Amino acid sequence: MKRFLSWEILLGVFLIVTSAFLYLLHYTIFRDVHHIFIYMVGDIAFLPLEVLLVTVIIHRLLSARENRAKREKMNMLIGAFFSEVGTRLLTYFSDFDPKLEEIRKDLIVTSEWSEQDFLSVSNCLKNYDYGVDIQKIDLEELRSFLLEKRDFLVRLLENPTLLEHESITELLRAVFHLTEELERRDNLRQLPATDYEHLAGDIKRVYVLLVHQWLDYMRYLKDNYPYLFSLAMRTNPFDQDASPIVK
């Protein structure tokens, strides 16, 4: 830090000395102090406007452009997550949600949905009693799937772009926790009721975060990428009639 500040100070001193030398050279050649001060005052008067343009307007434009680029990269990563892991987990968990019929029709997203529709469904989901019937879930199959995808999830978590997205980071953390819980158990078919209840809570945590993240991602696709949104609608994990085939 001290070295960096020393470099800045040296540069500042060099620029000031250079400016003074050039003014002195101008005076030596033309012997016109009046002309020098006219331009000096004019330059100083323009300085606040220059600061305004550079630090406020241009900086904000560049910052907005950078933020858009970050959002694009972040949503590309979220899309990769759902393609590789998220959609399959949603389909699997929702199949064993005993109360899914209460909200299934609300999650059949169409191209006619407005921003208000997404907001309304999102608010409705906050009051939904999520749950899964863990006795019907093949925990061995779930463990195998999550372990197979663990390297992919690790690479996602290592990406600095996702660190700025709190909800997807929390989702990945929940998925990793569920993976570790399942991995640590030798026999998933013979567990006490209390342990099944614990695992059901871990699955529910992932399920809740998945649903909300999926809805946000669907809204993003509808607003920005109609062709990706079309495929997402045709593979909707909550639509029992969903098919990737265009009819």
This prediction has a pTM of 0.74
- Average the pLDDT over 214-219 and give the result: 93
Of 153, 122, 118, 142, the closest CA to residue 196 belongs to 142
pLDDT tens across 151-179, in order? Answer: 999 888 888 877 777 888 899 999 999 99
Say if residue 2's pLDDT is above 70: no
Of 129, 140, 123, 138, the closest CA to residue 212 belongs to 123
Of 187, 191, 219, the closest CA to residue 78 belongs to 219
Q: Where are the domains of the chain?
A: 2-62, 72-234
167 neighbors 209 (Cβ within 8 angstroms)? yes
Question: DSSP secondary-structure letter at 102?
Answer: G
Q: What is the pLDDT of the chain when averaged over all its residues? A: 86
Q: Which of 43-52, 128-137, 174-183 has the highest mean pLDDT?
A: 174-183
